[in-house]
Structures are given as structure tokens and as C-alpha cells.
Amino acid sequence: MREEVVRRFPLEYKRYIEVFGGGGWVLFHKDPRRDFEVYNDFNSLLTNLYRCVRDKPDLLMNALEYVLNSREDFERARLSLRRKRTTDIQRAAWFYQVIRYSYASALTSYGSQPHDIRADFPLIEQAHRRLKDVVIENQDFERLIRHYDRGDSLFYCDPPYHATEGYYQNIGENGFTEKDHIRLRDRLLSMEGKFLLSYNDDAFVRDLYDAPNIQIQSITRLNNIKQRYDPNCQFEEVFIANYDMNERGLYVPKQFNLFD
Ligand SMILES: C[S@@+](CC[C@H](N)C(=O)[O-])C[C@H]1O[C@@H](n2cnc3c(N)ncnc32)[C@H](O)[C@@H]1O
């Protein structure tokens, strides 16, 4: 979806803020231009990993050098991550190991796929160069948006989808609840800057953003994970923005399939 996201960015903005950064797919895809860029996520394991990639890539690669692709090593890293206090580098290395070697990167069970983690080192170096001037924040979205909101800011938001909140329960005590979706809407609708938001297409989301001067576009994509079992499994998503998403002359029919 990253192509579809980036082509909807407005022509003019100076600050780019990725509010729910996750794996940073959009940030890593977008042209850095001369933007002031911020990556944020509430999950401190992610922000610690990216800070180590940005600031100490050599130490991180040293810590990963002797990682084994084995169930025992995976379980040791997974449990240590929960229980042990350690250095930022060791924490980043365990986290990276657990993401890389877990099934579907879900951090829970060993994936049993052949892969040498040292083959990722060039990618870590590439990410290090891309993140060089990126500010990395570990804040709840509301505080973050308030902090960076200016007329020339663009906020890209990819929050946990509505009705899938349980997946993110490791983050807060109750995960991302309906109250958080409403809190996000209230913050976005009262901001000075521009926002582009992606969501799953459902009645609750459409109702939340049924407001003056808000554009909603729908898009259908194949569902990457479910597709393994059902090749035609599709997923309805929406893009929501407080500016004209067609300002680059982009023609977007109401419904289309990314893979047509
Ligand atoms: C749908 S994922 C974002 C995926 C991302 N676009 C990517 O490229 O991987 C949602 C992210 O929001 C983060 N998150 C959950 N609650 C948050 C909050 N209150 N404030 C900021 N980030 C939050 C989660 O840790 C998760 O990484």
C-alpha cells in the first residue's frame, strides 16, 4: 500500500510525521526530500531498535553476529526480552532476532525458516543511512500530534485497525480501544496541519469521519496473510484526509483493485 499512500501526499509540506510508525514502510519508501521527518511509535521495543540502527549500527551488528537460527535461541531471546533488564543494544538485538525468526513476524512462535541473520547487515546499514536525520519519538499519538502540529506539517497515520485492537495488547493495558479511535479523530479534526489516515473500511470508521471538508476514498487490496489460504481474499480499506487527495492530478476511481 505504500505507493498508494505516498501518491496521495499533498504537494506542499515541510514536516513529515509518521504517527504510528511500526515497520516504517511508508517512511522508508518516501523520498526524504529536505523534509524534517519524525518516526513515532508507542512500542518502545520498536523505537529502541530504530534508535540503535540510526546511532549504533556497528554495535547492533556485533550483537547479532553469533545469533543462531534455532528454536532454543529464539525462545531464549523472546523470554529475555520480557524478563531481563539489559543495554539498549542487547534489547534491540533480541527484538530483531525475535521479529526475524518468528512466524509471520508475530513475535510469538519460532518460524523454522532458513535464514542467516548476517545477510540482513547490508539492510541495517541502508536503514542506518536513511534514518540519519530522522527524529525518533516514543509517544502516544495525541501528545505527539499536539507537539508537531503546524500549518506546514503532514501527519501520516496508520493506526491499529478498528476491531483488530487485541493484536496490539502488548502496548497498553487495554490495547487500542474504541476510545482511542475517538481520541484520534478529535485530535485530527482539530489540527492546523494536514493528515492522511489509512483504516479498514467499516461503518464505525466512516461514521467517525463523516465531517465537513474530510475526503474519504476507498480501495480494495488483497489480504497478504489470509491470501496464503484463500488467493482471492480481499480487504477493503479507506484513505481519509483533510485536504484534496487528488491535488497531484491523481485519478482515483471509487473502487479499484491494486493488483488489477
Ligand atoms: C497498523 S500498525 C502501523 C504499521 C506501519 N504503517 C508499518 O509500516 O508497519 C500500528 C502501530 O501503532 C502503534 N501504536 C499503538 N498504539 C499507539 C498509540 N497510542 N500511539 C502511537 N502508536 C501506537 C503500534 O505499536 C503499531 O506499531
DSSP reduced 3-state for 36: strand
Pocket test for ligand 1, best of 19, 28, 42, 157 (most atoms within 8 A of CB): 42
| Pairing relationship of beta strands 194-200 and 234-241 according to DSSP bridges | antiparallel
135 grid coordinates: 527524529
Say if pTM beats, i.e. exceeds, 0.85: yes
Query: How does the average pLDDT of the chain come out, rounded?
Result: 90
| Pairing relationship of beta strands 215-222 and 194-200 according to DSSP bridges | unpaired
Cα 116 to ligand 1 centre (Å): 28
- Ligand 1-lining residues (CB < 6 angstroms): 20, 22-26, 41-43, 140-141, 158-160, 168, 171, 176
Neighbour order of strands in the sheet with 36-40:
135-137, 36-40, 15-18, 153-157, 194-200, 234-241, 215-222
Same fold, 2-43+140-241 and 49-130: no
Cα 157 to ligand 1 centre (Å): 8
DSSP 8-state symbol, 117: G
Question: Residues 21-30: pLDDT tens digits?
Answer: 999 999 999 9
Q: What residue type is 191 in one-letter code? A: M
Widest CA span in the chain:
56
CB of 114 closer than 8 Å to CB of 69: yes
Extended strands (E) in 99-252: 135-137, 153-157, 194-200, 215-222, 234-241
Cα 158 to ligand 1 centre (Å): 7
Q: Quick one: pLDDT at residue 251?
A: 56
The CATH code of the domain at 49-130 is 1.10.1020
Question: Residues 151-186: pLDDT tens digits?
Answer: 999 999 999 999 865 555 444 445 899 999 999 999
- CATH (one of 3.40.50.720, 3.40.50.150, 3.40.50.2000, 3.20.20.70) for 2-43+140-241: 3.40.50.150
Which atom of ligand 1 is found nearest the CA of 176? 16
Domain borders along the chain are 2-43+140-241, 49-130
Which atom of ligand 1 is found nearest the CA of 140? 20
